[in-house]
């Protein structure tokens, strides 16, 4: 079985590097970086334009501005009036969207491949040509406040997760919600928006990713024509306040009449992928899976199946961000199990995990699934494009992105256990209990 598995891994490895070899990249004189991910299975194309600016790049006091600005990018320019962008994409049979995170803001269109020039032209047009009226600001700010109500303020879980993240960061802007604090969203002005636009919306802050049915060289030629004439801006260096060493565990307890099922959340501050140095993040990625990545994971087996103190358990870690982020744990106690008992059982299970280590077979199985997931990903054009956008806006190079699968494959049991020892330290954690109003 193991021999067969090994042969298969080698086979998959070849397939993956063959795929990487056909990816094209370029950089224009104005600093715009381009990545082309060819996929000729259908005559469709995905254009993603990433600005390497997210909520963690906002000026303190202006939280929510990056996300608010994402909304404003759908207002008009001199050549493409309000609403016309999405309407034109739709009228050409395409779909468009946008999203904002801590580290980036991205705009996406999917459309028939012979319409690439059309969407590229409109995307280039709004990089510098946006016109914003006071009325645009007033209504769209109201929409964003409604969005905040929907996503956060209407659910105890939404409010609590926001509090958890805020508590995890004393100094780093990752502690601010991407959507922004309500009182700061309310105060955002047209001047704030324009200053943000002039500062960050420029070719030298942008990554263009085109995935789909395109000819070699075609994307670069188009990009040169359409994005090439845009002027770079004087970008501020991307240096953010970093966290001081955490000296004591933090704990949050919230009670809410709307909560029926208690839950325990924990965040540990954890390093993420660094250019040329990704092995630790790779080890933590596999650690999260082995601890709490599903039914067969170590802590799920112990807490849910064996001890029956929980009805759910999971661990989650996002390896790709500019600065250190959180390693997350989530648990729901079984009915009749007091939350403090469940928390004690969680800590005991983590201590056991650190003591007992992990099984080589479990790691081999997990690595095989990672290799397979690269094959599955070939069926998902958007996800492939996204890997490059997130990676480049998180400070990684193309080589780091290309090497990541091999680095995951090289991680050893010892790497994972060493990372576990470093990450799973209560002194670097926040624990949150979200409880019904009337328990205990």
Partner 1 sequence: MRLLAPFLVLFLSIVGPATAMTEIQQVRSSGGHVAWLVEDHSIPVVVLEVQFEGGTTLDPDAKAGATAMMTRLLDEGAGDLDATAYAVAVETLASQISFYSTQEVTGFSVMTLRENLDATLELLLLALAAPRFDEAPMERVRARTLARFRSATTQPGSLASQAFGEMLFGNHPIARPIADTQASVETLTRQDLVDAMTRSFVTDRVSVAAVGAITADDLEPLLDRMLGDLPDTGPALPPPAKISDAGLTRIIPFPGPQSLAFFGHAGLSRDDPDFYPAFVLNQILGGGFSSRLTRIIRKERGLTYGVSTSLQTNRLSNTFRGSLRSGNETMAEALDLVRAEWVDLAENGVTEDELRQAKQYLTGEYALRFDGNRQIAGILVSMQAEGLPRDFIETRNDLVEAVTLDDIRRVAARLLDVETLTTVVVGAPVGMENGAD
Q: Which residues 245-304 are close enough to bind partner 1 by CB under 8 A? A: 257-261, 294-296, 301, 304
State the residue for tokens 């540990």. Answer: 268
Applying CB under 8 A, does 106 fall inside the site for partner 1? no
Sign, Cα dihedral of 347, 348, 352, 353: negative
Q: Quick one: which of 63, 77, 105, 272 contacts partner 1 (CB under 8 A)?
A: 77
Q: 104 CB contacts (<8 Å, ≥6 apart)?
A: 50, 51, 52, 53, 54, 389, 390, 393, 394
Q: Quick one: which of 131, 138, 277, 412 contacts partner 1 (CB under 8 A)?
A: 138
In the complex with partner 1, the residue whose CB is nearer, 334 or 402, is 334
In the complex with partner 1, the residue whose CB is nearer, 49 or 424, is 49
Applying CB under 8 A, does 312 fall inside the site for partner 1? yes
In the complex with partner 1, the residue whose CB is nearer, 95 or 427, is 95
Site size for partner 1 (CB under 8 A)? 74
Applying CB under 8 A, does 311 fall inside the site for partner 1? yes
In the complex with partner 1, the residue whose CB is nearer, 150 or 427, is 150
Other CB atoms closer than 10 Å to residue 319's CB: what's the count?
23
**CA separation for the pair 183, 243 (Å, rounded):** 25
Residue 334, token pair as written in the block: 């079984």
Of 331-360, which residues contact partner 1 (CB under 8 A)?
Answer: 332, 334-335
Of 8-37, which residues contact partner 1 (CB under 8 A)?
Answer: 8
Q: DSSP 3-state assignment of 164?
A: helix
Out of 70, 162, 220, 332, which one is annotated catalytic? 70
Stretch that binds partner 1, among 186-194, 364-372, 406-414, 419-427 (CB under 8 A): 364-372
Using alpha carbons, select from 235, 112, 241, 233 the residue that is nearest to residue 173. Answer: 241
In the complex with partner 1, the residue whose CB is nearer, 183 or 260, is 260
Q: Quick one: which of 110, 280, 384, 428 contacts partner 1 (CB under 8 A)?
A: 110
Other CB atoms closer than 10 Å to residue 191's CB: what's the count?
9
**CA separation for the pair 309, 338 (Å, rounded):** 9
391 HSE (CA, 13 A, CB side): 21
In the complex with partner 1, the residue whose CB is nearer, 112 or 398, is 112
Strands 250-256 vs 429-436: parallel, antiparallel or unpaired: parallel
Q: How far is the CB of 140 from partner 1 (least distance, A)?
A: 7
In the complex with partner 1, the residue whose CB is nearer, 25 or 79, is 79
Q: How far is the CB of 439 from partner 1 (least distance, A)?
A: 13
Q: How far is the CB of 264 from partner 1 (least distance, A)?
A: 14
Residue 217, token pair as written in the block: 């060289």
Stretch that binds partner 1, among 51-59, 164-172, 239-247, 378-386 (CB under 8 A): 378-386
**CA separation for the pair 327, 431 (Å, rounded):** 12
Applying CB under 8 A, does 153 fall inside the site for partner 1? yes
Applying CB under 8 A, does 314 fall inside the site for partner 1? no
Stretch that binds partner 1, among 85-93, 186-194, 273-281, 314-322 (CB under 8 A): 85-93
Is position 243 annotated as part of the catalytic site?
no
Q: 21 CB contacts (<8 Å, ≥6 apart)?
A: none
Burial annotation 11-22 (CB, 10 A radius, 16+ → b, else e): ebeeebeebeee
Applying CB under 8 A, does 414 fall inside the site for partner 1? no
**CA separation for the pair 93, 73 (Å, rounded):** 21
Task: Give phi and psi for 107, each to the nearest 5.
Answer: -125, 135
Per-residue binding letters, 165-204, with partner 1 (x by CB under 8 A): ----------------------------------------
**CA separation for the pair 143, 132 (Å, rounded):** 16
Residues involved in catalysis: 70
């Amino acid at each position: 079985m193991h021999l067969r598995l090994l042969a298969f891994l080698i086979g998959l490895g070849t397939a993956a590097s063959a795929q990487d070899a056909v990816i094209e990249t370029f950089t224009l004189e104005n600093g715009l970086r381009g990545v082309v991910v060819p996929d000729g299975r259908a005559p469709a194309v995905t254009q993603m334009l990433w600005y390497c600016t997210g909520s963690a790049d906002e000026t303190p006091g202006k939280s929510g501005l990056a996300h608010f600005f994402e909304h404003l990018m759908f207002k008009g320019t001199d050549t493409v009036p309000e609403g016309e962008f999405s309407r034109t994409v739709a009228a050409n049979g395409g779909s468009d969207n946008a999203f904002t995170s801590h580290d980036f803001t991205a705009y996406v269109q999917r459309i028939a491949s012979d319409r690439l020039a059309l969407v590229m032209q409109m995307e280039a047009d709004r990089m510098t040509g946006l016109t914003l009226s006071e009325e645009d600001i007033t209504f769209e700010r109201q929409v964003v406040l409604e969005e905040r109500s929907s996503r956060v303020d209407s659910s105890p879980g939404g409010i609590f997760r926001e509090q958890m993240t805020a508590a995890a960061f004393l100094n780093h802007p990752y502690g601010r919600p991407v959507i922004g604090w309500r009182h700061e969203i309310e105060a955002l002005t047209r001047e704030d928006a324009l200053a943000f636009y002039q500062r960050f919306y420029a070719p030298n802050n942008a990554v263009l990713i085109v995935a789909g049915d395109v000819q070699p060289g075609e994307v670069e030629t188009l990009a040169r024509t359409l994005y090439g004439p845009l002027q770079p801006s004087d970008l501020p260096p991307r240096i953010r306040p970093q966290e001081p060493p955490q000296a004591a565990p933090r704990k949050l307890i919230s009670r809410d009449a709307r909560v029926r099922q208690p839950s325990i959340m924990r965040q540990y501050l954890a390093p993420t992928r660094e250019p040329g140095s990704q092995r630790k993040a790779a080890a933590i990625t596999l650690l999260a899976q082995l601890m709490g990545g599903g039914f067969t994971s170590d802590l799920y087996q112990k807490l849910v199946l064996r001890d029956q103190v929980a009805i759910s358990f999971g661990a989650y870690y996002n390896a790709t961000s500019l600065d250190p982020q959180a390693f997350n744990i989530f648990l729901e106690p079984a009915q009749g199990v007091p939350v403090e008992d469940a928390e004690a059982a969680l800590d005991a299970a983590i201590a056991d995990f650190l003591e007992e280590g992990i099984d080589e077979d479990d790691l081999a199985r997990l690595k095989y699934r990672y290799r397979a997931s690269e094959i599955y990903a070939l069926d998902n054009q958007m996800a492939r494009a996204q890997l490059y956008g997130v990676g480049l806006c998180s400070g990684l190079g193309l080589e780091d992105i290309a090497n990541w699968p091999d680095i995951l494959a090289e991680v050893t049991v010892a790497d994972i256990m060493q990372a576990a020892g470093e990450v799973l330290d209560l002194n670097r954690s926040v624990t949150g209990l979200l409880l019904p109003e009337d328990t205990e």
